[in-house]
Amino acid sequence: MLLTAQKLFIEENYFTVSTNEIAKNANVSIGTLYSYFNDKKAILLHLLSDYDQSFDKIFQELNTPENVIIFKNNLKQWINRLLDIL
């Protein structure tokens, strides 16, 4: 459901997507959706929480003295490190 909701929020937009549309595209009943999430806002908040946690992990890996020096002196190398982490 979450991946389906994320895809719909990106392709359409959060404000026009309904919980019924999410359930239908995820091949679950609306009751099943509501057993996990109270509403569409709860789905969005869960997705944002996941994003925040993954961003924090990446930031922690890149926020080292060594990586700061690389960022200042060799941006291409730093970007390659970022891509490796992603």
pLDDT tens digits along 43-68 = 999 999 888 888 888 888 888 899 88
Specify the CATH number for the domain of residue 44. Answer: 1.10.357.10
Question: Average pLDDT of the chain?
Answer: 92
Cβ count within 10 A of residue 11: 8
pLDDT of residue 45: 94
Name the domain count of the chain: 1
Instruction: Choose among 60, 10, 79, 4: nearest CA to 36.
Output: 4
Structural domain of 56: 2-85
Rounded Cα gap, residues 22 and 32, in angstroms: 11
* pTM of the predicted structure, to 2 decimals: 0.68
What's the start-to-end Cα distance of the chain, in Å? 23
21 band by pLDDT with thresholds 50, 70 and 90 = very high
pLDDT: is 13 or 34 the higher one? 34
